[in-house]
Amino acid sequence: MMSPGFTGGLLDRADTLRHDPEGLAAARSDWRARVLRLDRFEPELDGEGRLGWSSLAETPEEAELILLGFDESRRPHFAAYLPGMRAPAGRSPRLFALLDQFAPGEAATYAAARSVLDWHSRHQFCANCGHQTAMFRAGWGRACPNCKAEHFPRVDPVVIMIAEHDGRALLGRQPAFPPGRYSALAGFLEPGESIEEAVAREIMEEAGVRVTDVRYIASQPWPFPSSLMIACVGVAENDAITLDTNELEDAIWVSRDVVRAVLAGEAGPFLPPPYAIAYTLLKAWAEG
C-alpha cells in the first residue's frame, strides 16, 4: 500500500533535546542550523519539491524557535514563530497546487511545522487561569508562569471511512467539493467512544447505513490545522441510503471496477487527490 500524504518525515525529532537547555542552546548556535521559509504559513519549494530553508542569521530577532529536528548530518532544523502570526482561514489555490509537488518526506516536515506554529498562534493564554503563557520544551509546549500549568500541542482524531457492501464502497459528496468529486465519509471522534464506534456512528448519521466489523487501514496527519485522519472500512448491513443533507449533498455506491478505472486514469477525476488519505483508503480497498 502507498504511504499516505504528510507521512515519512526525514528529521529526527530529538525529543531528549527538548529537556536539555544546553543541548538546545548548542543547536541554536550551530552555524549550519536552518529555519523553514514560510509565507503566511505556506512553504517554499524548489524545482524538486524540497522545502526552502534560511539561516538563523536571516531570522528576525523577535522570533521564537521551534526545534523540528535533525537531518542525517545532525544539522538542526527549526521553525520560527513570530509574535502575532496567524494562519489564514482555508487554503489558497497556491497551497493546493503545492501539495501535489512535495518530494517524499518533505510534506511531513511541513505538516509538523504548520500544525505547531498554528497551535502557538491560537494558544497564547492559559486555559486554566487566563494568564499569558511562554514557549518551552524547544517549542513543543507552553507553560503558565502564574498557575504553573503546562500545555502541549493537541491533535484532533478524525475517522475517515468507507462502508462496503456487495463489492461496492459508499462515497459521499459535500457541497464544497470540486464538481464531480466524491470521497470517503469523515467526522471527529467524540469523547467516550472508540475508533470503531465513531466509524459506525458517523456512517449512520450521515448516510443512514449501519456497519459492523470495522477494520483499520492507515492514518495520516492533516495539518489544517492539526488532525489525525484514521482511515477505516466497515461492512454495511444493507445498501439503503438515508442522507443527512446538513452533512452531505449526495452519497453513492461505487464498484471496485469503477474505482480501479479512476485510479488508472481511465475514468473521470472524481476521487480525492493522492495526498489525501481518502485516496490511500480507496486504493487499498480497490486492491482488495
Name the least confident of 82-96, 124-138, 178-192, 230-244. 82-96
Please, what CATH class does the domain formed by 156-286 belong to? alpha beta
pLDDT band per the 50, 70, 90 thresholds, residue 283: very high
Check pLDDT > 80 for residue 92.
Answer: yes
Q: Tens digit of pLDDT for each residue in 245-275? A: 999 999 999 999 999 999 988 877 689 999 9
Residue owning grid cell 461505487: 254
Residue owning grid cell 514563530: 81
So what's the pLDDT on residue 114?
Answer: 97
Per-residue b or e along 229-242, where b marks 16 or more CB atoms closer than 10 Å to that residue's CB: bbbbbbebeeeebe
Rounded distance, CA 107 to CA 89, Å? 20
pLDDT band per the 50, 70, 90 thresholds, residue 167: very high
pLDDT, averaged across the chain: 95
Q: At what angle do helices 256-263 and 277-286 cross, to 10 degrees?
A: 120
So what's the pLDDT on residue 1?
Answer: 62
So what's the pLDDT on residue 51?
Answer: 98
Q: Tens digit of pLDDT for each residue in 24-41? A: 999 999 999 999 999 989
- Sequence ranges of the domains in the chain: 15-124, 156-286
pTM, whole model, 2 decimals? 0.94
Q: Which amino acid is at 279?
A: Y
